[in-house]
Amino acid sequence: MSRRTERVNDLLREEISYILAREMKDPRLSVLLTITRVQVSTDLQQAVVHVSIMGTPEEKKTTIELLRAAAGFIQRELKPKLATKLVPFLTFKLDESIEEGMRMFQLLDTPQGPKQEKT
């Protein structure tokens, strides 16, 4: 990955986080969500936004659907904030790595450790 795409990834992550926190006024977006990373294509035409959502499976599904529906609004809000000719097409993807990490810590934190079956 080139230095330029790394900078664009970081800028997109920061700006999308700001838009979600400050400019989106949808009450369904009240669950705790974090943009874990953004991966932009080499031609800067598309970006995959990885989002970690804390909540029930139904809240996760609803939030991802809401983000996908709001992608056009987010792209319009990004236009004046980016120093690029084009704003990449945004695709939102659920990232469950934080929850997986929390589960691993809980397993390691139990006194017996993970339960193993006897054979």
**Residue 111 in tokens:** 């006194």
pLDDT at 47: 96
pLDDT at 114: 56
pLDDT at 116: 59
**Residue 71 in tokens:** 């992608």
pLDDT at 113: 52
Q: Which residue has the tokens 């990885």?
A: 50
Measured at the CA of 25, the angle between CA 99 and CA 36, to 5 degrees, comes to 25
Mean pLDDT per block of 10 residues along the chain (119 residues) reads: 88 94 81 90 94 89 93 94 88 85 79 60
Distance of CA 69 to the CA centre of its chain: 15
Contact present, 53 and 63 (Cβ < 8 Å): yes
Contact present, 11 and 82 (Cβ < 8 Å): yes
Distance CA 20, CA 52 (A): 13
For 88, counting Cβ atoms within 10 Å of its Cβ (0-12 exposed, 13-18 middle, 19+ buried), the class is buried
pLDDT at 2: 84
Which residue segments constitute the domains of the chain, with CATH numbers given?
3-109 (3.30.300.20)
pLDDT at 98: 72
For 67, counting Cβ atoms within 10 Å of its Cβ (0-12 exposed, 13-18 middle, 19+ buried), the class is buried
